[in-house]
Structure 1
Amino acid sequence: MTRSELVLKLLSQKPGLTNSQAEKSIDVVFEEISAALSTGKRVEIRGFGVFTTRRREPRLGRNPRTGVSVKVSGKVVPFFKAGKYLRDRLNVNSR
């Protein structure tokens, strides 16, 4: 689902909203999640999942085109862990 599809879905469920209000609502949610993660906080949305950050250590990588070894610096990356309700919804047909 793309951002524009998410806006359309929100508009279909809340017909009183304007297109700009729906876009702003989605922007606020994403911005607040990003802001919390950038300060090292954990974001938990009950029934959906948890957003956190994880540290990746520096390592020695390889350029796939040339085969030359390159140093890859350490970094912080976002991590998402699905909640129980979301996992159950995804696996409803596999039982």
Structure 2
Amino acid sequence: MTAGGTLTRADLAEALHKEVGLSRADSAKLVEEILRHMCEALHKGENVKISGFGSFVLRDKGERVGRNPKTGVEVPIAPRRVLTFRASQMMRDRIVAAS
């Protein structure tokens, strides 16, 4: 993991290289393939569930009225699709145990 505390694609590829023994190039390709498959599934409207990790779920949010915080003027917010992540119970337990 980088010094800033963010896990990157390069970090994942490096971990594959060290722990599985794939070449650095093959590790990077594998990480990219996994992410590509996840993006394609989400683009098709499918949810992505990784057992023991969590689920990426697409939600449709309806149109609603928002308010400009500076002026207080109400403005309509268009309907949109959002991506949410819900950690699995196993992941939540690991996070609590690590803190």
Tell me the TM-score range normalised by the shorter chain. Answer: 0.7 to 0.9
1:1-95 to structure 2, matched below 5 A, reads 1-17=7-23, 19-64=24-69, 69-93=74-98
Q: 1:90 Cα deviation (Å)?
A: 0.5
Instruction: Work out whether residues 16 and 22 of structure 2, in 8 Å CA contact, stay in contact via their aligned partners in 1.
Output: no
Extract unaligned runs of 5+ from structure 1.
none
Label 1:69 to 1:20 Cα distance change in 2 as closer, same or farther (>3 A): farther
Counterpart in the other structure of 2:4: none
Label 1:4 to 1:93 Cα distance change in 2 as closer, same or farther (>3 A): closer
Q: Which moved more, 1:8-17 or 1:62-71?
A: 62-71
> Identity over aligned residues, as a percent?
33
Aligned length: 93
Q: 1:16 Cα deviation (Å)?
A: 3.4
Distance 1:63 1:5 in 2: 40
Q: 1:71 Cα deviation (Å)?
A: 3.1
Label 1:38 to 1:57 Cα distance change in 2 as closer, same or farther (>3 A): same
Distance 1:28 1:48 in 2: 18
Label 1:64 to 1:11 Cα distance change in 2 as closer, same or farther (>3 A): farther
Give SS of 1:61's match.
strand
Write the letter of the residue equivalent to 1:11: H
Alignment root-mean-square deviation, CA = 2.0
